[in-house]
Each structure stands twice: as C-alpha cells, then as structure tokens.
Structure 1
C-alpha cells in the first residue's frame, strides 16, 4: 500500500496532462521520473483517472522497455552489450560491477537502493566501446578497473 503522498503526486502529474487516454504515456514517464520506477498501484490509479482499462495501461507499460515496475537505485548503470561493446569486452565490465556491488543476473539493485545494474542492447556510442551509462551520463572506453573506480567515486570513496 502506497503512502497518500504518491497519489497526490500522481494527481499533480495527471493535472499537467489532463484526464484523457492520450496522456497515459507521458504520465507514466513522469511518475517513473519521480520515483525511479512505476508503482503498479499508481498505474491502476492513473488508468482509472484518465479513463483507460487497467489491462490497457499494463499493456502499454510492459511494451516499453524503459518503464519498470521494480524500484531502482539512485544510480542506474546500463552496461551496453551490443556487438561493438561485446567484442570489446563489455561482459568483464558487467562481472566486475556484479562483484563490486554484490549483484547478479537475478539481483539488479543493491539493498541500500543506491545502485541498479542493467544490460542494454545498444547505447548508440559504438565508436566509444565498451560503454556504459550512469543515469544519463555516458562513460566511454570502460574497463573492469575503471568501473570499480567509478562505483567508488559514486559512493564517495574516491573523493
């Protein structure tokens, strides 16, 4: 059960776009932008408020890969595993992240909700491979050593 403040924030976001079915995607994006994930209860609530079925709302939300029903950490690290990054050894970078953060293919977010690690098919920076992103910032030509240093810097250990 979500705190009432979540519904109040949803009402504020819905108010920006209007209570109409065509507002579903921008509302979902803004809710996720606020909480770093899309709480299922808020998706159901939004659907009711804008006049779409719950099934339709979930259908749209699950279609878009960038929308997530799972809470994410403060830092979302996306490791590229596209062809250019893969052949330039992106998987050792991912393994170094998993080891440093105590994560795995099945556990993507640290218990303290600071880090989430995901793999993506392409970041569109093939010439800078291997590449990863932290939130919206691209980090080119990474290595396992560089990624450990980056995590330590994000934790505040490198300061």
Structure 2
C-alpha cells in the first residue's frame, strides 16, 4: 500500500517499455561510466528519468535502483530530498519566482502574487494547458539582478509584475522567449537531460552560457578603478594623531607605498 502523503511509491513499479528501457540503459551506461563508484551516478540518473517522464516516477525509481544496485527506498530518499526533482507531473516550463529578502523587498512578492492571480494557480501548481508550473524559490543566487525569476533554471532578471505576466503569456502561447543571460531556453525535459550530463547540441548554446553578468562584476570594476585591494580588517581612525592602524594582517596597496 502506498503512502502518498510521504511520497513513497507503491511496489512493485512497472518497468519501461522495451524500446524505452534499451534507450535509457544506453544513456545510463554512459553516465555510470563517469564515476568510480556507481552509486555516485544517482543524481544524474534521476535527471535522466525526469528527461523521459517529466518527473521522478515509480518506474524511474525502479530503473535507477536496478542500474545502481540500490533499494527503491534509497532512491526515493534522495529524490525527495532535492527540490529539483519533481514528485508529480508538471509543466513544460518551471517558472520560479525568488521571494527571499532582497528580491521580496524589490518586488518579488508582488510578482509572485500577480502570477498566481494571472495564471489561476498556487505554489507548485500547473496551468490547465500543462505549460507552466509556478513555484516560489527562496534564492536564485542572483541578488544583483533582483527581483529575479528563473524558467527551467535560466535567468530572467530585473522583473516587474507586468514583465512577468508577459513572460508567462509568451511561454503559454509558444512565442520565442530569450533569457536575460545564459543559454537559450528549452523545455523542462530538455533541461533535465542537460543536467544529466548530456551536452546541449543546439548551435551556439554553449557559447551563450557566458560568465558573470555586468552587475555581478560592478564591485570588482569599482575596486580596480580606485586601485584598492585590501586584505585584512579595515583601518581604524587614529585617536592620538598617529597613523591609522589596520591591525594584524593589514596590507598596503601599491598606491599607498611600502614602508
């Protein structure tokens, strides 16, 4: 008997059809070969079955367990621990709105509330057309572009309720959507296959990934412009007219001179 509230699968789970199983076995062989200990391949294999099914199914759990010599309980424990693994079917586009402190005060809460109203769904729910699953995210690690959304883990920076509404409308209508930075957008299943470790073969996708954006490097540019590079605690103001003392480990910059 299954306990749905705990996310535990009923057993035994059915296997994949023979043609699907053969294809996944070939992919799994490639993934497992990357690791000296086969059980280390569990995370990418979970992404692989998500690329097939759109979420971690009972059949996907059985597949991972059989390929890695694990129990289905062990696979289930891992798949329910990490939030990037879905436990139920979802949309083609996972739309995450950051509601952590900086994004929230700059408009993240307003964006999330607007999308819930506009899409008619709650947190973790999917639109009736199967296109968009909405979720709030605690941090997208992009505070310098707040408020930030992610669609299938690609960044959409400096959002407003209006731009967020237009974005999900475009996704549902099948219109082209370009992330603010990073690789071109693809579907959830396509993203899962990339996360499983299979290269994105679309022309220009790897080159488009790039590095840190301009806002992320603002502090570095400012430091270089001022010629400041300081190690250790900041200098304290003198109280007796003497020189400032930065304390142990203070290093002078080349502009300040040595000695």
Partner Cα distance (1:128, 1:25) in 2:
29
Higher helix share: 1
> How big is the shift at 1:130?
0.9
Q: 2:133 aligns with which of 106, 112, 116?
A: 116
CA distance in 2, matches of 1:14, 1:54: 17
Q: 1:149 aligns with which of 139, 161, 166?
A: 166
Aligned pairs, number: 158
Q: How far 1:42 moved relative to its partner? A: 1.3
Task: Name whichever structure is richer in strand by fraction.
Answer: 1
Point out where structure 2 has 5 or more consecutive residues left out of the alignment.
1-13, 177-259
Shift in Å, 1:149 = 1.2
- Alpha-carbon displacement from aligned partner over 1:89-145 (angstroms, at most 9, x marks no partner): 21121111112211013x511122100111111111112111101123211121111
What SS does the corresponding residue of 2:80 show, helix, strand or coil? helix
Residue 47 of structure 1 pairs with residue 65 of structure 2:
yes
CA contact under 8 A between 1:73 and 1:116: conserved in structure 2?
A: yes
**What CA distance in whole angstroms lies between the structure 1 residues aligned with 2:159 and 2:44?**
33
- 1:30 paired to 2:48: yes
User: How far did 1:157 drift?
Assistant: 7.9
Runs of 4+ in 1 over 6 A off after TM superposition: none
1:74-85 → structure 2 map (5 Å cutoff): 74-85=92-103
Q: How many angstroms apart in 2 are the aligned matches of 1:141 and 1:86?
A: 12
Max radius of gyration: which structure? Answer: 2
Matched residues in 2 for 1:67 and 1:157: separation?
25
- Residues of 1 paired with 2:71 and 2:50: CA distance? 20
Q: TM-score, normalised by structure 2?
A: 0.55
* TM-score (norm. length: structure 1): 0.85
CA apart distance, 1:6: 4.6
Q: Secondary structure at the match of 1:89?
A: helix
Q: Which has the higher contact order (CA 8 A, sep 6+)?
A: 1
Hey, what does 1:14 align to over in structure 2?
28
Q: Distance in 1 between matches of 2:31 and 2:154?
A: 28
Partner of 2:193: none
2-structure distance, mates of 1:15, 1:89: 46
C-alpha RMSD of the superposition: 2.3
Q: Which residue of 1 aligns with 2:148?
A: 131
Seen in structure 2, the aligned counterparts of structure 1 residues 141 and 122 have a Cα distance that, compared at 3 Å, is: same
Is residue 55–residue 86 contact of structure 2 (8 Å, CA) maintained in 1? Answer: yes
1:64 partner SS: coil
